[in-house]
Structures are given as C-alpha cells and as structure tokens.
Amino acid sequence: MKRSLIDITDLNTDELEELIRTATDIIEDPKKYAHACDGLKLATMFFEPSTRTRMSFEAAMYELGGHVISTASADSSSAAKGESVADTARTVSCYADIIAMRHPKEGAAYVAAVNATVPVINAGDGGHSHPTQTLADLLTIRREKGRLGNLTVGLCGDLKFGRTVHSLINALARCEGNHFYLISPPELKVPSYVKKAALKSRAIPYIQTEDMLEFMPELDILYMTRIQRERFAEPDEYERLKDSYILTPAKLETAKSDLAILHPLPRVNEISVAIDDDPRACYFKQVLYGKYMRMALILKLLKEAETDKGVARKVDFSGPEYIHGEHVCRNPRCITATEQELPRIFRREADGTIRCVYCEGRTEE
Ligand code: NCD
C-alpha cells in the first residue's frame, strides 16, 4: 500500500502544519506550482453525490498542471455490475497516479488503498470519516483564528453520521488546549469510538448538550452540520430530527464578535441565508481553502509515492493485535456487509475492545 490518506490521524500534527504551509505558499504564489504535476493523472471515483469535494480535487489537479480521469457516477461504472472495490482500485491504478474516492460504505477507501498500487485519498466513506474536509477546516481555522489550539469549539447538528465532524474532532483533539461542546439531539451524538479515541484517551474536556444557545457566548468556532438524511434507516426519524437546529441572526446575539462559523456544506436549512453576509460566516472561504489543501495533499502523496515507485507494500495484518476470521462486523454500513469475500480482520485495542479494521465498528455493534 502506498502512503494514502484514509483517516486524518494518518497525518501527524507536523504533517498537518506542513500541508498548511504548502497551501499558504500556493495561495501566495500559484504560478510556482502550475507545472508541479505535469503529465500526472488523478482519478476521481465518486460513488456518492458530491459537488465541492469532487470538483475541488479536479480543480486542484488542473491547477497543478495534471490531468483528471473519472467515473461519471456509480451507475455508469462497473460497480453497478457488482465489481468489488478491491478490483476497481487495482484496475484504476493501471490508469492513474493517484486516486480520490468517495463511497457510501464505511471502510471502502481503506479497502481501495490496501489493493491499489497508487496513493488513495478518502473523499468520504459513509458516515465514517472525511479527512480532506478536515484539511479545509484546519486551514480556515488557522487563517481566521491564527491558531489551531486553545479554542472553544462547538460542533452542532448530526454528530453521529456527520463524517466531517469525526475527522475534525480527531484533528483538533491533537492540538493543545482545545475543548469541545458537542451539540446534537440525543439520537445523533458523536459515536463512542470517536469520543474514546480522540477525546477520552487524552482527557480532553468536552460537554454533550442539546442546547445550541447555552454555550454560544464561549465559542470561538461554531461548526454547523446538515442532518444526514441519506444515512437514516427510518425516514420518519429523519423527518422528526431534520429541523433540530437552525442558526439565525437572533441566535448569534450572545456570540463573540470574532466567532468563526464553519460548515462543510451543502447547507439545507441549518444556517439561515441571512447569516451569509455576517463577517463571522466562513463557509464559502472554507470551500476555497479546501482546494488549496487538496493541492498540497496531492503534491505530498505523489512525492512520497515517487520514492518507492512501482512497489506497493503489502499491508501486514500478521501482528498479534489482528484477529482473522473469528468475528463478523455488526455495522450494517461497513463495506464487509456488502462485500462478502473481504477477509474479516479485527484489531484488538489496548483496552481490549475489538474493532473492524475497515470501519472501526465493534464486533457487538
Ligand atoms: C460533507 C460530506 O460529504 O460529508 N460535504 C462535503 O464534502 N463538503 C458534508 C455533508 O454532506 O453534509
């Protein structure tokens, strides 16, 4: 497996800083990078709807001088004929130097990375993670607040299925002095595996609340999210929860004057358009920053791939922490739920929890 980006924790904090530095340099002097990827190809494989992520990857590659090839949609690729993610990844590796993939199943990007011979970037895997949105979020926070640490961060909306939230918590939890207000209906709380890995393991302070107004005066960042309709098993439950939070100018009355309001977009109704002209609204800048961070990431991964060209290291699952074939992942959204032939591999964590290597689901989930 080539160096890929599947989870935001695949990058250490020095590397996150390095990407922010590169992106900043690109913003200041784009000409310097205009031929950095001459002759190279990015494949975008999006098996779920996307506007920003896909187009920003494509724009990023073009602005680096490279080319883009892509599958038009899940329906028009061989996935519709029943091809596995592993086979598709092996195939596309023959055509492209780097792959960006979005898939509705959790763990799909990891399966692609394990089987591809080129770097794979996870552009969103089900309700699991979305590391390149986090790169956009981090550059936005750095440019708006001047720092990534010592921030009071409110995350609001669908924190259960909102994959951008999971990745952002995993990134900001590694920056000194941050604390979190997790604002959601009880049904849509941050999954326990995210809280455990990112927050509890580091004793990072966080409060879970349903009330979006109570802590508003304290917030430096307010990260709004859409209720993720497509991930609900029961349409009625979505109908009941869909209007849980709607940010209006009146709700910002007690907020700091230098609050930064972020949203990965698309917005449905959770931020009133009346807020768009408020100087605290950063969500459209966030879109632009996403392109620069994706440029920085493509450059980094292609450079690292060059050093061991043609050699895709086999992922070693032979260590004592791995358990083969004994368990079944209970997460119905896991890639193993649809791809029966994938080897069932679980990892035993330090606290004894056994998790699926693909989706991080527990055996009993
Ligand atoms: C997000 C996603 O796909 O998870 N969108 C994006 O990539 N900017 C957020 C969402 O769909 O709600």
DSSP 362: B
Q: Which atom of ligand 1 is nearest to the CA of 226?
A: 12
* For residues 220-225, average pLDDT: 98
Average pLDDT, the chain: 94
3-state SS class at 192: helix
Higher pLDDT, 76 or 223: 223
Flag whether pLDDT at 354 surpasses 70. Answer: yes
The pLDDT-based confidence of 286 (bands split at 50, 70, 90) is very high
Position in ligand 1 atom list of the atom nearest CA 130: 4
Task: Find the catalytic residue in 9, 24, 41, 52.
Answer: 52
| Residue identifier of the C-alpha nearest atom 3 of ligand 1 | 124
In the predicted structure, residue 155 carries a pLDDT above the cut 70: yes
- In angstroms, the CA 129 to CA 126 distance is 7
Give, in order, the Cα–Cα distances in Å from 219 to each of 257, 258, 352: 10, 9, 36
Torsion of CA 136, 300, 85, 159, to 10 degrees: -20
Judge whether 81 counts as a catalytic residue.
yes
pLDDT tens digits, one per residue of 170-209: 999 999 999 999 999 999 999 999 999 999 999 999 999 9
Distance 19 CA to ligand 1 centre (A): 21
In tens, the pLDDT along 84-139 reads 999 999 999 999 999 999 999 999 999 999 999 999 999 999 999 999 999 999 99
pLDDT at 79: 74
Measured CA to CA, the distance from residue 242 to residue 240 in angstroms comes to 6
Q: For ligand 1, pick from 48, 135, 164 the residue to mutate: most ligand atoms within 8 Å of CB.
A: 164
Per-residue confidence at 315, pLDDT binned at 50, 70, 90? confident
130: annotated active-site residue: yes
**pLDDT: which is higher, 63 or 313:** 63
Going by C-alpha positions, the residue among 353, 349, 356, 352 that lies closest to residue 325 is 356
Task: Given the residues 2, 22, 44, 53, select the one marked as catalytic.
Answer: 53
Question: Does residue 152 register a pLDDT over 50?
Answer: yes
Whether 35 is a known active-site residue: answer: no
Choose, from 2, 3, 54, 102, the residue flagged as catalytic: 102
Can you read off the two tokens belonging to residue 129? 């993670």
Provide mean pLDDT across the span 357-361.
90
The pLDDT assigned to 269 comes to 96
**Ligand 1 pocket check for 265: Cβ under 6 Å:** yes
Ligand 1 centre to CA of 124 (Å) is 8
Is 130 a pocket residue for ligand 1 (Cβ < 6 Å)?
yes
Q: Give SS3 for 77.
A: coil
Atom of ligand 1 nearest to the CA of 264: 8
Instruction: Name the catalytic one among 130, 195, 291, 362.
Output: 130
Write the single-letter amino acid at 131. Answer: P
d(CA 262, CA 239): 24
**pLDDT value of residue 82:** 84
pLDDT digits (tens, 9 = 90+) for 233-264: 999 999 999 999 999 999 999 999 999 999 99
pLDDT at 365: 40
The per-residue pLDDT for 134 is: 98
102 Cα nearest atom in ligand 1: 3
CA of 321 to the centre of ligand 1 (A): 33
What distance lies between CA 93 and its chain's CA centroid?
22
